[in-house]
Amino acid sequence: METRPCTSCKGTGMSTHVEGFADRKCYSCDGKGTFEAFDNAAILTAIKGRKEGTIKSSMVSYAKPNEDKVFHSRCYYVWRLARFHGGVDMTMPVMASVFTQGDPFIAELDTLSDAVAQTCFGSNMKAAYRWGRALGHF
């Protein structure tokens, strides 16, 4: 399975926040230094709604004890961005980005969330149109 170095610690597994203080385990990768590629099907199964072609209407943003933090964060990211881009939840998805900080597969997760929005909500541009008008770009 493909692995890539964590973008927060640059693959060292350690991070220094303040010069002169001891390094500590990287929060993003949990000290591993790398992230493994994700399985699209597993993420789609985790966010799938009850009806065909839908996603869950709510999802917990944090991993429960004994859950894989990285997998859960990726599921939350895809779910949250799909809802945002699909126009269902128009508040900015800031925390989704915080939970996936350091993940080198973020571009692939963005592509997956766009595909989910397109499939489930008919568009992946509804947020762009609304926020673009609000910010004077359209």
Spans of all domains in the chain: 1-37, 38-134
pTM of the predicted model as reported, rounded to 2 decimal places: 0.88
Which pLDDT value is given to residue 104?
97
Mean pLDDT of 13-23: 75
**What pLDDT is recorded for position 3?**
96
Q: How far apart are the first and last CA of the chain?
A: 43
- pLDDT > 70? residue 138: no
For residue 136, count other CB atoms closer than 10 A to its CB: 6
Q: Give the pLDDT confidence of 25-55 residue by residue, as tens digits.
A: 998 999 999 999 999 999 999 999 999 889 9
Q: What percent of the chain clears pLDDT 90, i.e. is strictly above it?
A: 64
Q: What is the DSSP letter of 104?
A: T
- List the beta strands (DSSP E) in 1-138: 3-5, 14-15, 24-25, 34-36
Residues 78 and 109 sit within 8 Å (Cβ to Cβ): yes
